[in-house]
Every structure is written in C-alpha cells, then in structure tokens.
C-alpha cells in the first residue's frame, strides 16, 4: 500500500477510517491543496526517531573525535567565562 493523501476536511470527517491505514503507510493531510501534516503509526515514529538518534549520536562522536570538548567541559568553560 502506498502513501495516501486526504484533505483536512476528509481527515476530520473520517478520522477513524484514516487511522486504519497508517499501520501500513503514513497518511498525508493537505490543507489548501498543500501537504500540511503526516499521520503515521507509533511504530514508524519510533523507528524514525531511532534513526535520527543514531545519526546525531554518530555526529557527536565525530565531533568529539575531531576535538570538540564535549558537553560537560563546554559547560564548565562557559560557567567560568560568566563568573
């Protein structure tokens, strides 16, 4: 099943039916003919959140490896500067 698109009015009037399909694919809701919101399953949301967390975790590791001081040392230096 591919992505479905409904208008905001259709989503409001048929909310239960709209929710039925989001376990297979996200639902795009349009407002004034433009994509406005996406409704997805909780499982898909958690999957995307895990991908984003892994991405930013990797970026943080790369930053530390390249000389970034890290959160705690940065906070300590900033605190010293504001004294």
Q: Are residues 33 and 57 in the same domain?
A: no
From residue 78, give the alpha-carbon distance in Å to each of 16, 42, 46, 82, 83: 51, 39, 34, 6, 9
Same domain, residue pair 52 and 69: yes
Give the pTM.
0.69
Number of domains in the chain: 2
Looking at the structure, do residues 36 and 47 belong to the same domain, yes or no?
Answer: no
Cα dihedral: 24, 16, 29, 56 (round 10): -50
Residue 56 has pLDDT above 80, yes or no: yes
Structural domain of residue 55, as residue ranges? 43-81
48 and 76 both lie in a single domain: yes
pLDDT at 63 over 90: no
As given in the structure block, the two tokens for residue 42 are 């909780």
Q: Clarify whether residues 63 and 35 are in a common domain.
A: no
The model's pLDDT over 3-22, given as tens digits with 9 standing for 90+, comes to 899 999 999 999 999 999 89
pLDDT of 73-82, one tens digit each? Answer: 888 988 988 8
50 and 21 inside one domain = no
């Amino acid at each position: 099943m591919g992505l479905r698109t409904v208008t905001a009015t259709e989503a409001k009037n048929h909310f239960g039916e709209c929710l039925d399909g989001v376990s297979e694919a996200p639902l795009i809701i349009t407002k004034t003919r433009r994509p406005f919101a996406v409704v997805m399953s909780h499982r898909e949301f958690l999957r995307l959140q895990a991908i984003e967390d892994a991405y930013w975790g990797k970026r943080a590791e790369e930053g530390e490896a390249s000389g970034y001081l890290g959160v705690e040392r940065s906070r300590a230096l900033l605190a010293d500067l504001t004294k």
